[in-house]
Structure 1
Amino acid sequence: MSANLPLRRRGIDLFFAVVFSAFTVTSLISDLLPTVGVDFSRPTGNFFVDSNYWYAHDADPLFMHPPDWMRIVTGLSAFGYLPFYLVLVFCLVKGRNGIQLPAVVYATMIVTLTGIVVFGVEFFGDPATRTGNPAKFLAFNLPYVLVPLLLLIRMRKPLPFTRRF
């Protein structure tokens, strides 16, 4: 069995580690607040509340007053994906094999919940939920579907850290 390459020789893994570290932060800021019922329908001077207000007001009005199903999706991100992001970043940096199956499960869930359900409601749902700016919505949310798909491609090999991508 060959040894895993050091991180400096696995540039794609460094990219993923940085991006999923950022996803960790967005899970805390964007997904935790609606899950626990914080009202961000108007600016308050609190950075976290105002960040969610700005996003919802400009790109995704449905997010400002999330229905129960959306609070379940954000709760999954805040309490399910967040711990996974921490483990994933650790495994990417350290080159720990064994993260492949959890990465596949995660990517599948993201494509299903965000890619199909959330995008479907945004673009094909009730017109009252589609009052945001579709270009801004895509700019904010498409990376959350595309990056997990790229991770899925990256994790397709049994020992992904032993050779360059």
Structure 2
Amino acid sequence: MSMPAVSQRDENFVRRADPIPLRERRRDWFFIVMYSFFALTSALADTVNTVGHPDPRSGYFMARFLYNAGTDSLLIANPRFVQVSVGYVSAMLFGVFYLVLIYAFVRGRDWIRLPAVFYAGMVVMGTGVYLAVGLLGDAPLFHLACGPNSNYDYAFLNAAQSLAYNLPYPLTGLLLVARMWRDRPFTR
């Protein structure tokens, strides 16, 4: 039994499906480095928000408190929406997805395109809500719940520093959408 003849069209398809080596995709190192950093922050920082209120005597909590105390009162307060968006979504869902993204970028896997675009939409929306609450505050809610004499608010204490820490996530997500724009982002 002889092998079926391979047409020129089939050879072109096979050749086209070969991934472009990473050494020829130098800009992709940006995504590999950023998503490696994001995976670390998901594992080391965002997991604290999965618990209602961390043990204040823990050294890890104290280090995080010192970072947030002058910057991000929203993370310190840890309201339910932060527990869900930062704790569960960012720490668990995005944390694992960052590892998948890194693998896909290193190996040049086109199947990551659609999940990457969905992720980018989620991170832009989630970070947008978080930043909106931190920048605009939530004092009217506390006035309703705690009375008109309440001075409590979720507003960032240092908006510039909070933006510097949080904006890389949605900005990198938007760059990821631009990178995934082609039908086959990793093949010729």
For normalisation by structure 2, the TM-score amounts to 0.78
**Alpha-carbon separation, structure 2, partners of 1:82 and 1:56:** 21
Q: Does 1:16 align with 2:17?
A: no
Unaligned runs of 5+ in 1: none
Q: Tell me the secondary structure at the aligned position of residue 111 of structure 2.
A: coil
Look up the equivalent residue of 1:63 and give its one-letter code: L
Q: Does 1:130 align with 2:155?
A: yes
1:82 aligned partner: 95
When structure 1 is superposed on structure 2, of 97-106 and 9-18 the one drifting more is 9-18
**Alpha-carbon separation, structure 2, partners of 1:7 and 1:122:** 39
Q: Does 1:156 align with 2:168?
A: no
2:6 aligned partner: none
Counterparts of 1:1-165 in structure 2, within 5 Å, are 1=13, 2=16, 3-37=18-52, 39=54, 44=58, 46=59, 48-74=60-86, 75-115=88-128, 117-127=129-139, 128-163=153-188
Superposed CA deviations along residues 141-161 of structure 1, whole A, max 9, x for unmatched, are 110110111001101111111
Query: When the two structures are aligned, how many residues end up with a matched partner?
Result: 159
**Alpha-carbon separation, structure 2, partners of 1:51 and 1:12:** 34
**Alpha-carbon separation, structure 2, partners of 1:68 and 1:125:** 16
**Hey, which bits of structure 1, 4+ residues long, moved more than 4 A?**
none
**Alpha-carbon separation, structure 2, partners of 1:141 and 1:49:** 19
Look up the equivalent residue of 1:56 and give its one-letter code: N
For normalisation by structure 1, the TM-score amounts to 0.89
Q: Tell me the secondary structure at the aligned position of residue 45 of structure 2.
A: helix
Whether the aligned pair in 2 keeps the contact of 1:59 and 1:136 (CA below 8 Å) is yes
When structure 1 is superposed on structure 2, of 127-136 and 27-36 the one drifting more is 127-136
Unaligned runs of 5+ in 2: 1-12, 140-152
